[in-house]
Structure 1
Amino acid sequence: MSKRLLRDIQSIKEDQDWKFTVTPSESDISQLRATFEGPSNSPYDGGVFVVDISVPNEYPLKPPKVKFETRLFHPNVSSQTGAICLDILKNAWTPVYTIKSILISLQQLLDSPNPSDPQDAEVAAVYLKDRNQFDITAAQWTRQYAQPAATGPKIDQASLDRFASMGFPPEQVAPVMEKLGLERVEDDDQVNRVVEALLQ
């Protein structure tokens, strides 16, 4: 799995046309956090959407588990849990698909919802009964939940508390940790890196 997954990640980093990003967890390469832009001329235009991807050991024979971290108003995405109804993540999966294939499919799903096979029945009902109201609500959610500034790494609160006890306020620590690519500090070396950056 790891060689194939590393190739997938490298392919996304080298291909700037799609403007995708993918970041493995520091402690587990099979846990990914990816982003993509909302399709142009859609209610999701201008948004940046974050998905969590959990890659099984059997990949690519089995599909990853994928869910939206960003809240969005869409018939095929749960507005509560971020669960996704997409055939290639289930019975239509084949080993030729890649992480990039998944992100492309998700972007296309935002552009072309499938209300006849919904993940969120209430949203699908709005889509079918009042498309204009659906577009308005989806655009509102995009502005509220999917703005680029909100897509940086989520900084672990316990890590912020640790630095607060050392006299460093969270609003000062968080941007430094983001710059260093750290969502949390797990050992003394990481703590020292952050402290050194704070004192510069």
Structure 2
Amino acid sequence: MSTSARTRLIRDFETLQYDPPGGITGGPCDNNLMLWNSSIFNPDFTPWHGGMRLTLKFSEDYSYKTPSIQFISKMFHPNIYEDGRIYLGIIESTWTPVYDVAAILTTIQSMLCDPSPYSPANREAARMFIENKWEYDRKVRDIIARSFTADRSCNN
């Protein structure tokens, strides 16, 4: 691993340990600094309050390149593919090396409650979000309630 990527990931980890944004946790899996597990919790009044788990895979080019991000928890969201990958246009379109892991996770946390349904990764979720928000929220709550405990390990 490059020294700059390693140094940056250690700094990002320390930030998350000592000054985490509300509702966000994360860190390296086992002794692999290039693979992280994270959890995002949103406020109780949102359909996303049950908590979601995701992995971040970093390349040697981090922080000049975004990590690969995938939800472990089952998701139903306009900007998240059925396999858990995030439509990264939201993050990549504004990416700068100034962003750290906390900023990435905070952006995702915000995206959960404020999706972009007009450039969807999941067309069914986008359609439901636009046409029947109540039903969309109900489906999200149901999926989140069942999926948080049925996740995979760091070995993805």
TM-score where L is the length of structure 1: 0.69
Distance 1:130 1:151 in 2: 27
Pairing 1:109–2:111 present:
yes
Pairing 1:8–2:5 present:
no
% of aligned pairs identical?
25
Distance 2:57 2:134 in 1: 35
**Gap regions ≥5 residues in structure 1:** 157-200
Pairing 1:42–2:41 present:
no
Change (3 A) 1:27 1:155: closer
- Structure number with greater Rg is 1
Aligned residue for 2:131? 129
Question: How many Å apart are 1:154 and its aligned residue?
Answer: 3.2
Pairing 1:51–2:54 present:
yes
Aligned residue for 2:75? 72
Cα RMSD for the two superposed structures: 2.0
CA deviation vs aligned residue, 1:145-193 (integer Å, no higher than 9, x gap):
13xxx2787398xxxxxxxxxxxxxxxxxxxxxxxxxxxxxxxxxxxxx
Distance 1:153 1:81 in 2: 13
**Gap regions ≥5 residues in structure 2:** none
Task: Judging by fraction of residues, say which structure has more strand.
Answer: 2
Q: Does the 8 Å contact 2:20/2:102 carry over to 1?
A: no
1:143 to 135, 145, 149: 145
Q: Does the 8 Å contact 1:65/1:89 carry over to 2?
A: no
Change (3 A) 1:152 1:100: same
Question: How many Å apart are 1:59 and its aligned residue?
Answer: 0.8
Give the letter aligned to residue 75 of structure 1.
Answer: P
Q: Does the 8 Å contact 1:67/1:82 carry over to 2?
A: yes
Give the letter aligned to residue 97 of structure 2.
Answer: P
Distance 1:153 1:121 in 2: 25
Larger relative contact order (CA 8 Å, sep ≥ 6):
2
CA deviation vs aligned residue, 1:58-115 (integer Å, no higher than 9, x gap):
111111111111112111112x210112435323211011100011011101111110
Change (3 A) 1:5 1:155: closer
TM-score where L is the length of structure 2: 0.87
Task: Judging by fraction of residues, say which structure has more helix.
Answer: 1
Aligned residues: 151
Q: Equivalent residue of 2:33, what SS?
A: coil
Structure 1 runs of 4+ with >4 Å offset: none
